Amino acid sequence: MDAKGALAAAFDVAPLRFQPTEIAPRLFGMAMNTEDSLREYLRLFVRVPLVGRIGPLARTFDFVADAAPGVKEILAVGKLCYEARERHYDIVIVDAEASGHIVAQIAAPRVIRQLVQVGLVREQTSWMIEILEDPARTGLVIVTTPEEMPVTETLELVDRVRADTGVDIAAVVANRVLPALFSGRELDAFERVCAPPTRSLLVGAAGAKVGVVLDAAASIEARRRVGAMHLDRLRSGLGPRLPLIFVPELFTRATGRRVVTLMAGSIHDELV
pLDDT tens sequence across 120-160? 667 778 889 999 999 999 999 999 999 999 999 999 999 99
Specify which of 13-22, 77-86, 118-127, 129-138 reaches the highest per-range mean pLDDT.
Answer: 129-138
Burial of 5 from C-beta contacts in 10 A (0-12 / 13-18 / 19+): middle
Q: Which of 96, 100, 183 is nearest to 132 (CA)?
A: 96
Largest CA distance in the chain: 83
Residues with Cβ within 8 Å of 192's Cβ and at least 6 positions away in sequence, in order, are 198
Its pTM stands at 0.81
pLDDT averaged over the chain?
A: 84
Question: How many C-beta neighbours within 10 Å does residue 150 have?
Answer: 19
245 in Cβ contact with 235 (< 8 Å): no
Residue 180: pLDDT over 90: no
CATH C-level class of 139-272: alpha beta
Domain extents for the chain? 32-134, 139-272
Of 60-64, 68-72, 183-187, 199-203, the poorest mean pLDDT is in 60-64
Q: Look at residue 204 and tell me whether its pLDDT is greater than 90.
A: no
In contact, 95 and 141? CB cutoff 8 Å: no
Distance in angstroms (rounded) separating the CA atoms of residues 188 and 180: 13
| Confidence (pLDDT) at 64 | 44
Above 50 in pLDDT, residue 60? no
> Cα separations (Å) of 73 from 62, 79, 96, 120, 227?
11, 10, 12, 17, 34
18 Cα distance to chain centroid: 20
Tell me what the mean pLDDT of segment 164-186 comes to: 92
Helices (H), the chain: 6-10, 34-41, 55-67, 71-86, 99-106, 108-115, 120-132, 148-164, 184-194, 196-206, 209-238, 257-271
Residue 228 burial (CB count, 10 A): 14
- pLDDT band of residue 47 (cuts 50, 70, 90) is low
> Are the CB atoms for 109 and 138 separated by under 8 Å?
no
Measured CA to CA, the distance from residue 257 to residue 122 in angstroms comes to 42
